[in-house]
Copies of this chain bind each other. A is one copy, B any other.
Amino acid sequence: MPIKCLICGNRSTGVHYGVVSCEGCKAFYKRGQTKSLSYKCYFGQACFEDGIKSNRCKACRFQKCVQVGMNLQAPKRGRRTKERAFTISELGACHRDPNHYHSSVYNDKTGGRFRHIAPAGGGGVVASSTAISVITPNPGRDLLSLSYIRPFVNSERAEAISLLRNSGSFSDFTRIEIDRTPRAHMRWIDPYAQKNCLDYREKVMSDENSRDMPEFLGDYWKVIQQKGFLVGESLKVVEDAVKVIYGEQLTTWNEFMREAIFCNNAPKQPQCSLAEMLQAIRDSVAECQRKGTRFYFLLPGFSDFTQEDQKILLTEKWSETWLIVHSPYLWRGETYYWIGERNRQYHYCQYWMRQVLHPSHIAKVFSLSEDLNAVKLTVVESFLLLAVATFHPDLTTAKNKPFLTFLYGHYMDCLLQSIRSRCNLSEQILLEKRLRTFMKQFRSVYRLGNFYVRSLDFSGGLPFRAIRDSVVISVEDALTTSDDGLPSLESSSVMVA
């Protein structure tokens, strides 16, 4: 019967530095002598609480080493013959209270929480509840919870960090106050927008289209003349809105992701109970809604819709908002952001995502995020893209199509203007190509949000299922529904390509 490592629970190979431990923890402790200062825990120093054994958090692992009494100067206990082997109690002699680690206590303490330990193996989505049993039927499974995850190499880190959208200085975000009222700008967007149905996007509109609508040309050009100023003003407003509403969150999340990835502490383990996490998710959704609503009302144009259309847009565009805000923090199958109320924030890691969402839903979200990240927009640009997606006249049931079309074009201009002001020509061309590619997925995002996410039954079991007309539907169903109440692709009034 091999004795388990007191730090990680792995098979021990004897006493190392005064503690019954495995080869890994031995080497880790040794290495930590010069490096432990740079270790940092992101999860409340609880990663190595009884029952949770994760070698993924170096800070907690090292802390645990020290806690159980590892000591470089620990005396060697010499060797014994087989007849006079060390007894278990002798082996435990170095520790504070041997009973503390007794298996029964160990399992009692973990109780219901044990099931939240992530199975690192690929297959299982939810950790199987092997809780109370002391001897596991399949000893190999023990190692699963320890399965090594290669730390990121620098090139990967650079890639991850590049997702953190460039925004000049994030750190200043929280300190900047906007002194403009967005309504002021709408005063002169309005006259054009409300009276005329103008698609004034010079870049997007093809020559053929302009031939088809010669009667608008007069007004069109009037708008064009003012467009430069209009675009500039909207850019400023959006930038300020992003800073005021999302600045702090972006700063925090960026810092978190950066540190998590650069300190090799990829967070993969739960830090709280399911109930706590569900509450955190609810809080987070509410907060995201709140922020999104604030953003929309600061977005020039939005407040000029009827209350009914505003409500529709706020409801229907939840998915878009979520994606724009979160995509930089989804990377390589893991998430890197905090959720929950300020005083109790948790890392919404993929483990939890898998608890509550269907795998194909997760896959779709990651896939969309990846595509969006690949476009490589700045923060402000990504929110301009949100505006574009929001006002796409074909992808909402809001009624004021002319104004939607106008704003869609306007924010498209803003976005392109921003891109062009920071890229050289060849970069522009590539970026705009990637942008067009991503925009083809607008409809998928809309469908995912409105036919799948909005159908989720939060009263049922985990993971939540989407139910429409008393029938469970899959992500695929939602994405391919022919009955989306929107204009068909063919008759689209806006050319995206």
Contacts and interface: CB of A to CB of B under 8 A. Distances in A.
B75 A121 contact: yes
A125 B156 CA distance: 44
B18 A121 contact: yes
A377 interface: no
Contacts of A31: 155
Interface string A27-43: 00011011100000000
Which of A33, A121, A156 gathers most chain B CB within 10 Å?
Answer: A121
A74 interface: yes
B74 A121 contact: yes
A79 to B, nearest CB: 9
A222 interface: no
Contact of A75 (B73, B74, B118, B156): B118
A76 interface: yes
Interface in A124-147: 124-127
A124 B34 contact: no
Contacts of A120: 71, 73, 75
Contact of A124 (B33, B74, B124): B74
B155 A119 contact: no
B93 A34 contact: no
A76 B121 contact: no
Of listed A33, A35, A74, A153, residue having the most chain B CB within 10 A: A74
Nearest to A34: B155
Name, among A78, A90, A125, the residue most crowded by chain B CB atoms within 10 Å (CB to CB). Answer: A125
A155 B18 CA distance: 22
A211 interface: no
Contacts of A124: 18, 74-75, 77, 93-94
Contacts of A76: 118, 127
A74 B90 CA distance: 37
A77 B127 contact: yes
A332 to B, nearest CB: 13
A163 to B, nearest CB: 16
Contacts of A93: 124-125
Contacts of A35: 155
Nearest to A35: B155
Interface in A52-91: 71, 73-78, 90
A73 B127 contact: no
A18 B155 CA distance: 22
A121 B71 contact: yes
Given A34-B155, A155-B31, A155-B34, A73 B121 contact: yes
Contacts of A78: 127
Most chain B beta-carbon neighbours within 10 Å: one of A93, A94, A124, A155: A124
A121 B90 CA distance: 16
Contacts of A155: 31, 33-35
A28 B75 CA distance: 21
A455 B71 CA distance: 48
A196 to B, nearest CB: 42
A193 to B, nearest CB: 42
A31 B123 CA distance: 25
Contacts of A74: 121, 124
Question: Which of A31, A75, A90, A156 has the most CB atoms of chain B within a 10 A radius of its CB?
Answer: A75
Nearest to A159: B34
Contacts of A119: 75
Contacts of A94: 123-125
Contacts of A71: 120-121
A244 B430 CA distance: 32
A149 to B, nearest CB: 14
Interface in A1-51: 18, 30-31, 33-35
Given A18-B124, A94-B123, A94-B125, 17 more contacts: A18-B121, A31-B155, A33-B155, A34-B155, A35-B155, A73-B120, A74-B124, A75-B121, A75-B124, A75-B126, A77-B124, A77-B125, A77-B126, A78-B127, A90-B125, A93-B124, A94-B124
25 contacts: A18-B124, A30-B153, A31-B155, A34-B156, A71-B120, A73-B118, A73-B120, A73-B121, A74-B121, A74-B124, A75-B118, A75-B120, A75-B121, A75-B125, A75-B126, A75-B127, A77-B124, A77-B125, A77-B127, A78-B127, A90-B125, A93-B124, A94-B123, A94-B124, A94-B125
Closest 8 CB pairs of A and B: A73-B120, A78-B127, A75-B119, A77-B125, A75-B126, A34-B155, A74-B121, A75-B124
